[in-house]
Amino acid sequence: MKFPIFIENSKVPVILSAITPIDIWAISFGVWVWCRGKMNEETRRHEAIHFWQQVELLFVFQWILYGLFWLIGRIRFKDGVLAYYQNPFEIEAYENDKDVDYLDNRGWYSWRKYV
């Protein structure tokens, strides 16, 4: 089995969007990636980047750091959406999701350069 496991046409992003400051199209959590509809390759890469961020931080530490980075950004910018986009994990994913070779060449802990 190849990871992450992509699940399309899921209600998970719809449900989570009700409690987040952004409208979630797709989300990576553990070995799964849930998407509201059909994923294009850019979305698959973006979420696979998050999967590898989680792997290198043993999943739970990435979730904790993600939350802390968001909270710090929320306090700093006074805006939940901006805090999301300024999260180092999201910056890495957004800056590299168009690069078809990124996952093959990505070094371990590459998200650190965006802190």
Q: What is the pLDDT of residues 11-54, one digit of tens each?
A: 999 999 999 989 999 999 999 999 999 999 999 999 999 999 99
Average pLDDT over residues 55-67: 98
Q: What is the pTM of this model?
A: 0.96
Residues near 2 by beta carbon (within 8 Å), at least 6 away in sequence:
none
Determine the pLDDT at residue 8: 98
* Whole-number Cα distances in Å, 65 to 41, 71, 72: 26, 10, 10
Determine the pLDDT at residue 1: 72
CA dihedral 82, 41, 102, 96 (to 10 degrees): -20
Determine the pLDDT at residue 20: 92
